[in-house]
Amino acid sequence: MSAGTVRDPGFPTERENYLTNSKGILSWMFTLDHKRIGVMYLIGVSISFALGGLLALAIRLHLMDPDGWMFRGADANNIYNQVFTLHGAIMVFLFIIPSIPGALGNFLVPVMLGAKDVAFPRLNLSSFYLWVFGAVFFVMALLSSGLDTGWTFYTPYSTTTDTSVIMATMGAFILGFSSIFTGLNFIVTINTMRPPGMTWFRMPLFLWATYATSIIQVLATPVLGITLLLLIAERTMQIGIFNPEFNGDPVTYQHFFWFYSHPAVYIMILPAFGIISEIISVHSHKHIFGYRFIAYSSIAIALLGFLVWGHHMFTAGMSSLTTIVFSALTFTVSIPSAIKVFNWLATMYKGSISLTSPMCYGISFIFLFTIGGLTGLHLGTLATDQHLHDTYFVVAHFHYVMVGGTLVAFLGGVFHWWPKLFGKMFNETGGRISAVLVFLGFNLTFLPQFVLGSRGMPRRYATYDPEFAFLHQMSTYGALLLGFGILVAFITLMHSLFRGKRAPANPWGGATLEWNCTSPPPFYNFERAPVVGDPYDFHDIEWQESDERYVTVQPERKLAPEADPSKSPAHASHKH
Amino acid sequence: MAMLPAAFSLLSDYTEDYAWFPDSASTFAADSDWLYYAITAVCIFFFIPISICLFYFAAKYRKAKGEKAESQVSHNTPIELLWSIGPSIFMVGMFVMGARAYLDMRTIPEGANEIGVQSSKWSWSMDYGRGTYHPELHLLVNEPVKLTMQSSDVIHSLYIPAFRAKKDVVPGRYNYMWFHPTKVTEKVSDEELANATKITEESATAWDYDKWQFTPDGYRFYDLYCAEYCGQDHSQMQTVVVVHETREDLDAWIKKYSSRGSDTLEAYGEKLYARRGCIGCHTTNGTSGTGPTYKDAFGTTRQLANGEKVTMDENYVRESILVPKAKVVAGFQPVMPSYKGQLSDDDLDSLVAYIKSLSANAETTSEADAEATPEENAE
């Protein structure tokens, strides 16, 4: 152990801990503390995820048999259509988009920045309640007459079906405001509340990713809001924007919708990139490789993501020129994503890797996201997309990005920051087993779907030709395994809350600011203003065997020599 | 894992459980598959080193807690530029190849045979000209064909996996696609066809394409799917593509369906019922589908959605086929597409005669009053 002063905040007391400093349900409901709001988001998105996940299992079970296994009777197809619509809508609007910014972002952005709270705490609370309100609309749509349009609400189907389209679009509209408020809050927080020393290039990459995400949230979401309002107007007043019966154009809706929803894909995946950058670096105990390239690539993805929406309509009948331009732009967005993968690998190279649960999820992410990204090339290439468009190949591709990417990163992030959130260590074996099960189950679910799609199996089919049965069955078994893996993760985390060891301030040996405060953090995050340095400099962090924790060791500072002209360096003296 | 070799075989047959691609039956297939394999090769070229590094690093650089990393190198600009620019070159290649092949798919050759396509929830109707409509798509080998497609309700998408061709059918505009079939679909033996026809007739069900894997005329086929989600029976919106070897064969097939011929009105009506998609929504056994059943319907009094009542007579049937949204029976959605312009008077008469033949009430049509059968009121 090197000589020096050990800096470690130790363990929090009852009073200085954000979870216990005030009590009662109202102290949570009206809290302005970003950490409590983050925890409430975490609970909310987890419930949504469980609901969406059960619907996914229902879909997969139905597809066990070519004629449909789960839902029977004359209404089987209708039920199936409602189930896949709700699965998509819940997962996208209630889980993937708000999960990382809402839960982890809210908790971590001010802490990692070294601030006491976000810029607008009340706006933050209201964004959570808007989320709840939007979710209520979704549940009401589910309980009234269902929704069967698919989560994209394509016209003219959505303007003619008799299910609760208005209720659901209102829900999405409200959720949009929640998303905008969160994004706005982060942008202002990061721009104005950085403490002394926290320059842009000393910000952890999670903050860069969150910042880039917030830009998309603020710029793109209003377009969705307007589109959904137009859709409602179209449905109720038949004003003829999208409906060809009144001289509207249904493809216009697709342009509007994807102008938001393609950037929204990056709302889902960019924060995941941020989490992985943290996990890989901390658990490799090595400086992140190519910090600036990763930071810039987040911004590049956010900006380029606005230019590629047309690739959702390669078969819709746009002009050839438009189609080709969109194809070219689509390829540009893959470069910054590739850069990140290479940088993470280079970070692991010659590191000191601990295969903790978060690291297992991190490795799993790189593997799965790489497959997701690479199969995007088949879809971005115009000629092959003609065959693969709207088949299971697309389903597999975006699940590799959204589930293999975002969900796995989210789980990794939850494991990574769980000790900080709740001050408890989880059982490492349970966490690692869950990571392996999720990895295997996920691949068994979605690898066969690439083959299904290549063979021409269209998506959103309630029944299918018998020659696809075997691959569908494999996929269903995979989904069950995946579900079991997530259950193991859930049990592991819940178990830790009751039986887990107390977490030290810095259980993994991270150098970002959140590891400088106690676990869980005090109400105002830091006891004293944190010292800001390079967030990936691991030189001063040492493992203390005796206490089983990482501490920051600062070398004993030698006092500067007394100001004695004769002893000052030559270059300083000749001034006089 | 015995199925793996078959799954990865390029030559596997479409009907095999583990084939990677469907048959290659159009000129687009070669381009599309070649590109697919080329892109996949590039993907593997990047993916294998990435995953080897990933797992190898994780194993090799695994250290005990507290051991310092061997290196803290934080960047290396030449390497970073190399791996930013390197992959871009592959991307440009993919884009250019993809765009060129795509332009071929978009450039419809002069003199292609033209077929009209009408799509509606949830059936296809191919227009062969001179009043011949049929849900099956019949083509001639080695001749380009152009489809002029329109939709009467929502967006559908015509997709033939064996041709690697897909195009959305958008209401309110014509969309076009073309392809050049290269492989004939064979004809099954007469015994096989006779056997299947007999079994189908005995069981009094519709022709089961999945079971027989050939059409009622004895042709093997390629699948044609709707690829854009269009509501309740999206997954049943399928039909088949038959590629004929000679023009005579194709013309004979078209002629067979061009008119009633020697059939009685009822018999031809029954064929039209199956052929023109009525069968998708209207049953003949008394159970309600998307639309009301035909069994014992003719001659009854129908309760309409707007509260009025109407007698189901010849005029009502005719109006309902041509202007389906005018008088919708209570309890059903106004989702039926119009068949205006697609059915001749003889066709309409045949359908009326067929529907009439299914009803025990048909003879008492004239002034049927409110005392209709209870189940009709229940609708």
CA distances in angstroms from B176 to A398, A557, B115, B173, listed in the order given: 28, 77, 10, 10
**Which residues are registered as beta bridge partners of B311?**
B301
Closest residue, chain B, to A380 (C-alpha): B95
B226: helix, coil or strand? strand
The Cα of A522 is separated from the nearest Cα of chain B by a number of Å equal to 27
Q: Tokens at residue A500, please? A: 């887990």
A225/A547 Cα distance (integer angstroms): 53
When CB atoms are compared, the residue of B83, B91, B288 closest to A334 is: B91
b/e map A16-47, b = 16+ CB within 10 Å: bbbbebeeeeeeeeebebbbbbbbbbbebbbe
Q: How does DSSP assign A94-128, residue by residue? A: IIIHHIIIIIIIHHHHHHHHT-SS-S-HHHHHHHH
Q: Phi-psi bin for A158: left (phi > 0), alpha (psi -120 to 50), beta? A: alpha
The Cα of B352 is separated from the nearest Cα of chain A by a number of Å equal to 26
Amino acid at A233: A
Closest residue, chain A, to B333 (C-alpha): A162
Is B69 within 8 Å of A352 (Cβ atoms)?
Answer: yes
A386 in contact with chain B, both atoms CB, cutoff 8 A: yes
pLDDT score recorded for residue A21: 86
Residue with the bigger pLDDT between A535 and A240: it is A535
When CB atoms are compared, the residue of B63, B76, B170 closest to A251 is: B170
Which of B70, B102, B120, B236 to mutate against chain A (most A CBs within 10 Å)? B102
Q: How many helices (H) and strands (E) does chain A have?
A: 19, 3
Chain A residue numbers with beta carbons less than 8 Å from the beta carbon of B120 are: none
Q: Is the pLDDT of residue A557 over 70?
A: no
Chain B residue numbers with beta carbons less than 8 Å from the beta carbon of A475 are: none
- Mean pLDDT lowest for which of A43-57, A524-538, B234-248? A524-538
Q: How does DSSP assign A430-474, residue by residue? A: HHHHHHHHHHHHHHHHHHHHHHHHHTT-BSS-SS--GGGHHHHHH
Closest CA to B236 of B200, B203, B209: B209
Q: Which residue has the tokens 């799965």?
A: A368
The Cα of B138 is separated from the nearest Cα of chain A by a number of Å equal to 20
A354 and B288 in contact by Cβ < 8 A? no
Question: Is the bond leading into B122 cis (omega within 30 degrees of zero)?
Answer: yes
A456 in contact with chain B, both atoms CB, cutoff 8 A: yes
Helical H runs in A349-381?
A: 357-380
B71 and A349 in contact by Cβ < 8 A? yes
pLDDT score recorded for residue A565: 54
ipTM greater than cut 0.95:
no
Q: Phi-psi bin for B172: left (phi > 0), alpha (psi -120 to 50), beta? A: left
- The alpha-carbon radius of gyration of chain B (Å, integer) is 28
Handedness of CA B197, B202, B203, B204 (dihedral sign): positive
Calculate mean pLDDT across residues A125-139.
93
Backbone angles phi, psi at B120, to 5 degrees: -155, 165
pLDDT score recorded for residue A467: 86
| pLDDT tens-digit series, residues A83-120 | 999 999 999 999 999 999 999 999 999 999 999 999 99
The Cα of A41 is separated from the nearest Cα of chain B by a number of Å equal to 33
pLDDT by 10s per residue, chain B, length 379: 334 444 444 444 445 556 788 888 999 998 899 999 999 999 999 999 999 999 999 999 999 888 888 888 888 999 999 998 989 999 999 999 999 999 999 999 998 999 999 998 888 999 988 778 888 999 999 999 999 999 988 999 999 999 999 999 999 899 999 999 999 999 999 999 999 999 988 887 778 888 888 998 899 999 999 999 999 899 999 999 999 999 999 999 988 887 777 788 888 888 888 888 888 888 888 888 788 888 888 888 888 888 888 888 888 888 888 888 888 888 888 888 888 877 888 888 888 888 888 887 765 444 444 444 444 444 3
Question: Would you tell me which residues 205-244 of chain A have a C-beta closer than 8 angstroms to some C-beta of chain B?
Answer: 244
| pLDDT tens-digit series, residues A279-301 | 999 999 999 999 999 999 999 99
Is B370 within 8 Å of B376 (Cβ atoms)?
Answer: no
B8/B12 Cα distance (integer angstroms): 8
Q: Which residue has the tokens 């048909």?
A: B362
DSSP strand E in A436-566: where? 541-544, 549-555
A156 and B234 in contact by Cβ < 8 A? no
The Cα of A78 is separated from the nearest Cα of chain B by a number of Å equal to 5
CA atoms within 13 A on the CB side of A316: 22
How would residue A12 be classed by pLDDT, with cut points 50, 70 and 90? confident
Handedness of CA A494, A497, A499, A504 (dihedral sign): positive
Calculate mean pLDDT across residues A226-231.
92
The reported pTM is 0.88
Which of A163, A365, A381 to mutate against chain B (most B CBs within 10 Å)? A381
pLDDT score recorded for residue A4: 67
How long a stretch of residues is chain A?
A: 576
B316/B319 Cα distance (integer angstroms): 5
The Cα of B262 is separated from the nearest Cα of chain A by a number of Å equal to 36
State the count of interchain CB pairs (< 8 A) between A and B. 299
Calculate mean pLDDT across residues A430-457.
95
Amino acid at A489: A
A349 and B61 in contact by Cβ < 8 A? yes
CA distances in angstroms from A220 to A204, A226, A406, listed in the order given: 25, 11, 20
pLDDT score recorded for residue B363: 58
Closest residue, chain B, to A148 (C-alpha): B231
How large a percentage of chain A has pLDDT more than 90? 74
Vertex A386 angle, CA A382 and A387, to 5°? 125
CB atoms within 10 A of CB A257: 23
Closest CA to A342 of B61, B83, B39, B47: B83
CB atoms within 10 A of CB B24: 18
- The alpha-carbon radius of gyration of chain A (Å, integer) is 25
| pLDDT tens-digit series, residues A147-204 | 899 999 998 898 888 888 999 999 999 999 999 999 999 999 999 999 988 999 999 9
B33/B19 Cα distance (integer angstroms): 14
When CB atoms are compared, the residue of B94, B153, B210 closest to A466 is: B210
Backbone angles phi, psi at B166, to 5 degrees: -150, 140
When CB atoms are compared, the residue of B15, B99, B223 closest to A382 is: B99
Q: Cα torsion at A369, A375, A380, A384 (round to 10°)?
A: -170
Q: Which residue has the tokens 């004809």?
A: B187
Question: Would you tell me which residues 319-378 of chain A have a C-beta closer than 8 angstroms to some C-beta of chain B?
Answer: 320, 323-324, 327-328, 331-332, 334-335, 338-339, 341-343, 345-346, 348-355, 359, 363, 366-367, 370-371, 374-375, 377-378
A179/A215 Cα distance (integer angstroms): 11
**DSSP state for residue B293 in the 8-state scheme:** -
DSSP strand E in B105-202: where? 113-120, 123-127, 133-134, 137-140, 145-151, 156-160, 165-169, 175-179
pLDDT score recorded for residue B376: 42
pLDDT score recorded for residue A345: 95
The Cα of B23 is separated from the nearest Cα of chain A by a number of Å equal to 9
Is B134 within 8 Å of B126 (Cβ atoms)?
Answer: yes
A469 in contact with chain B, both atoms CB, cutoff 8 A: yes
**Which residues are registered as beta bridge partners of B166?**
B159
The Cα of A10 is separated from the nearest Cα of chain B by a number of Å equal to 18
Chain A residue numbers with beta carbons less than 8 Å from the beta carbon of B171 are: 156, 244-245, 250
Closest residue, chain B, to A339 (C-alpha): B84
Q: Which residue has the tokens 């930013």?
A: B84
> How far is the first Cα of chain A from the last one, in angstroms, to the nearest whole number?
44
CA distances in angstroms from A167 to A232, A238, B312, listed in the order given: 10, 17, 37
Strand-strand pairing, B113-120 and B145-151: parallel
B225 and A458 in contact by Cβ < 8 A? yes
**DSSP state for residue B113 in the 8-state scheme:** E
B369/B379 Cα distance (integer angstroms): 17
Is A401 within 8 Å of A368 (Cβ atoms)?
Answer: no
